[in-house]
Amino acid sequence: MEEMIVRKIENGSVIDHIAVGKGLKVINILNINPYETAVLLMNVPSKKLGRKDIVKIENRKLTSDEVNKISLIAPNATLNIIENEKIKEKRKVILPDVLENIIKCPNMNCITNSNEPIKTKFFVEKKGPVKLRCFYCEKLFNSEEIVI
């Protein structure tokens, strides 16, 4: 198979080791603006995973909220921060124990989905597969049900 070449980024972030098929969701989380350059690589051969998705975005450092959201979609992803074409920092994304104000409750009858000025709050009950419990309505959700 012919190798596909994607050039290195000079500065920015690379989200590696995303499970196959989840890359598009990661791109959605990042909400790329019209002036940013980003690339999504799908089904890339990987020693560790067999196949994986990779997302590269130039001139952007991810916020902790963005990293937390990615950890829900791709709990085994690795985040590389690139400066001057070199990896300045490399770390695994970590799903925190509590997620505050970064996801919506899928239960439409939850008080957080009303016109009250409430920040959502979820406790991570299980990390693999992810199970989240809403602090307010007490319902349990898996990562597929979560509205990011």
Partner 1 sequence: MKHLISIKDLSREEIEEILEKSEEMALILKEEKNLDIMKGKILATLFFEPSTRTKLSFTSAMQRLGGNVIGFEAVESLSVAKGENLTDTIRTIEKYSDITVIRHPREGAARYAAEISSKPVINAGDGTNQHPSQTLLDLYSIKKLKGKIENLNITLLGDLKHARVMKPLAYTLAMFKANLTFVSPLSLEFSKEVTDELKEKFNSKIIQTNDIYSGVKNADVLYVCRIQKERFADQYEAEKLEKAFRITPEIIEQANENMIILHALPKVVELDPKIDETKHAKYFEQAAYGIPVRMAILSMVS
Chain residues binding partner 1 by CB under 8 A are 107, 109-112, 114-118, 134-140
Q: What is the Rg, in whole angstroms, of the alpha carbon atoms belonging to the chain? A: 17
CB 38 within 8 A of CB 56: yes
Nearest residue (CB) to partner 1, 94 versus 111: 111
Question: Rounded CA gap, 70 and 92, in Å?
Answer: 11
Name residue, tokens 């799908």: 42
Min dist CB 135 to partner 1, Å, is 7
Residue 69 dihedral angles phi and psi, to the nearest 5°:
-65, -45
For residues 85 and 138, which CB has a smaller minimum distance to partner 1 in the complex?
A: 138
Closest distance of CB 21 from partner 1, Å: 25
Q: What is the DSSP letter of 104?
A: B
Choose between 61 and 121: whose C-beta lies nearer to partner 1: 121
Least distance in Å: CB of 114 to partner 1? 6
Q: How far is the CB of 148 from partner 1 (least distance, A)?
A: 19
Cβ contact 102:134 at 8 Å:
no
Nearer to partner 1, 3 or 116 (CB): 116
Task: Decide if 43 contacts 53 (C-beta within 8 A).
Answer: yes
CB of residue 127 vs partner 1: minimum separation in angstroms?
15
Q: Which is nearer to partner 1, 46 or 107 (CB)?
A: 107
User: Which tokens is 145 given?
Assistant: 């049900």
